[in-house]
Structure 1
């Protein structure tokens, strides 16, 4: 079926490389113009021109135009992001930093570029020529890549009349999909995760909505990875809430030149509860006062690498003993033959708090006023969870005051200190009433 877009092909040669340079044109007259003028003065730019191109864009495609500035010594500067781009008729598409995206309309439109009072323009012809053939190849002609690395393929879309233009294509693997993938099916960047043989194709849809596919291209992913290293942007000792970015590198034949394979590797932690993993970002969580060890693991191509991290809780400022039945911190009492349940509220250095704090909390009963006869002290005890027990046979005869102490200790049994050097401990007096 002949496309009606062929009628445009006879006029395309007229527009190819149609450049007009005006050295002292108008300008936008806004802040962009001022910035451009300063930039032009800095680099000595005296002229601009759109880089040579065919001047043809398919109505389904896009094209990256480039505007080049030159100084008196003919030194060139790419001005794509600094120049002001516009189209004579916005209904034909959009343009930003030289990237033209067609809007599906045939015809011709002028591309106009302004920079520091200089203007250059070119005519773009939009064609709907019908897609006839797709050919794929490796961007550098390579026939293989080492596992866990990325590599890039390109494709040529050929249309009626023999012209080749950028065109939206879809990439896929027809054999070996378990060892490689196109993470973005619209680009030719291949990501590999293991070794083996693969075949790839690129395809596009023509004007009759038929899929036009390339011949399958064979490619090899080499089994060359020997080791993996895992590092993060922080130290190996963390506190809850700390975050970092992980980098995974692969070591191949040249151990002195590890390659970043983060994008293709998988990341995990054991135990998983100590690290929250979001892509390459990790966040410490569920740490303890003494620190808990977690293995941060990167894996690809059947090879693993590990970095051990120590996760501690956030730095404590203080603790406070409370009655866990009502939260009271004073005027607490217990009768002989009864129990009193206590817990601890922790305050961290950042001012946040945590109720029922239990990490490395040690409890003691302190009869500092000697109100309990020595032979009866064993009848008062406190559990590791803060439950104070008073035996019914204490037989005091009158009320007595004791103290309960809670301390947060390190792995060596020492009471830890806050950032000010004060011990993280608290005590509370409790009245024991006779039966």
Structure 2
């Protein structure tokens, strides 16, 4: 048995031997005649993922004119999990005069009123209402969930604003953040805004948040539970220009080992042999050995890197009045070496 659909662009035929669910077959025939291949691809993806629904979230339900707010679309999965679909859904708003939204879910509040933010993917639609008004900020509060932070572990701080309309709004993305200690840093832009990291031993730090002339300073206690730092892998062999990602693992009191790769200060004891960037990515520079270091909170972990090859050197050969140029790479221990001065030469016995 086969099913065939005549369309403006030709004919689509699907036989019963293909293991296609009836609803997917029907949708395939529908979009084949409508030209909406994108919807079909989305439907196939939802089936593969076991997608059961779509949810739209945001930090707050209220905004002021001129403010931006990020909306997130989460695919609800059959196993109970969720996956971020913010860059894959189709975003729109119920009234473009009140708010505009881009392809990634970033909304700009344009005028007072209520606007629905709508995300669509395949047959799923999710909505969230945002109210825009001229309520003014009256006070700020730091929301940490706790007044204690851990040394070398990032803490995501929240900022709650109390407004003249009686609403309390999470506005960590709107306030300016600062910290009074050279032993700590706090992110003041981007999606990680409000993320605090204390990298050197200290007892207390003061965090200040401010917006529209309103400010709040709060003190936080710092606890040092870091016992040791280990680097993984503990050793690696690289060639010149090869790269290797290293991971820093922190052993903390009364908790499981934590990945602190992004929290430590990375360095190389021999940067002319092997370099390493702030994310733990090492690169072979020249033949030799180097010790890589990861430091935080007064603790340091190390790893050993052996680099082979010196990047090579140029050899010119003349045959029947024609010159050919060769790039030769020398491995450590090979006994070969490039010329050490302009005009010098190196000779080696080779076989071809």
**SS in structure 2 of the partner of residue 276 of structure 1:** strand
- Give 1:94 shift: 1.0
Query: How many Å separate the matches in 1 of 2:102 and 2:337?
Result: 68
- Superposition deviation, residue 386 in structure 1: 12
Please list, as runs of the form range in 1=range in 2, the aligned pairs for 1:159-170 lying within 5 A after superposition. Answer: 159-167=163-171, 168-170=174-176
Q: Which has the larger radius of gyration?
A: 1
Provide the aligned length of Structure 1 versus Structure 2. Answer: 305
Q: CA deviation at 1:155?
A: 1.2
Report the counterpart of residue 19 of structure 2 in structure 1.
none
Q: What is the rounded CA distance, in whole Å, between the counterparts of 1:49 and 1:305 in structure 2?
A: 43
Deviation at 1:128, TM superposition (A): 2.7
Report if aligned partners of 1:172, 1:185 keep a CA contact under 8 Å in 2: no
For residue 329 of structure 2, what is the aligned residue in structure 1? 348
Cα distance in 1, alignment partners of residues 91 and 137 from structure 2: 29
Query: How far is 1:134 from its partner?
Result: 0.9
The TM-score normalised by the length of structure 1 is 0.57
| CA shift digits 1:282-323 (9 cap, x unpaired) | 110121xxxx2211111112222221211111698x996x7x
Which of these residues, 116, 131, 139, is aligned with residue 133 of structure 1? 139
- TM-score w.r.t. length of structure 2: 0.69
The equivalent residue for 1:411 is: none
Cα displacement string for residues 395-426 of structure 1 (whole angstroms, at most 9, x for unaligned residues): xxxxxxxxx9934xxxxxxxxxxxxxxxxx34
CA distance in 2, matches of 1:33, 1:278: 43
Conserved 8 A contact 1:242-1:284:
yes
Q: CA RMSD in A?
A: 4.5
Change (3 A) 1:105 1:265: same
3-state SS of paired residue (1:272): coil
Matched, 1:241 2:241: yes
Q: What CA distance in whole angstroms lies between the structure 2 residues aligned with 1:136 and 1:319?
A: 62
> Does the CA contact (< 8 Å) of 2:265 and 2:296 recur in 1?
yes
Q: Name the SS for the 2:300 alignment partner.
A: strand
- Tell me which residue corresponds to 1:251: 251
Cα distance in 1 between the residues matched to 2:308 and 2:232? 19
**How far apart are residue 212 of structure 1 and its match?**
0.8
Task: Work out the CA distance in 1 between the residues paired with 2:271 and 2:74.
Answer: 51
Residue 378 of structure 1 corresponds to none
Give the match for residue 15 of structure 1.
none
Select which of 300, 307, 312 maps to 1:311. 307
Tell whether 2:227 aligns with 1:226.
yes
Task: Spell out, residue by residue over 1:360-395, the C-alpha distance to the aligned partner (whole angstroms, 9 max, x if none).
Answer: 4489xxxxxxxxxxxxxxxxxxx998999xxxxxxx
1:29-428 to structure 2, matched below 5 A, reads 30-39=36-45, 43=50, 45=52, 55-59=61-65, 60-62=67-69, 64=71, 80-81=85-86, 83-91=89-97, 92-96=99-103, 99-117=105-123, 119=125, 124-138=130-144, 141-167=145-171, 168-174=174-180, 177-185=181-189, 187-196=193-202, 197-205=204-212, 211-214=213-216, 216-232=217-233, 236-253=236-253, 257-279=256-278, 280-287=280-287, 292-313=288-309, 347-348=328-329, 360-361=335-336, 406-407=347-348, 425-426=349-350
What is the alpha-carbon distance in structure 2 between the residues aligned to residue 263 and residue 57 of structure 1? 33
Is the CA contact (8 Å cut-off) linking 2:54 and 2:76 kept in structure 1? yes
- 1:13 — aligned with what? none
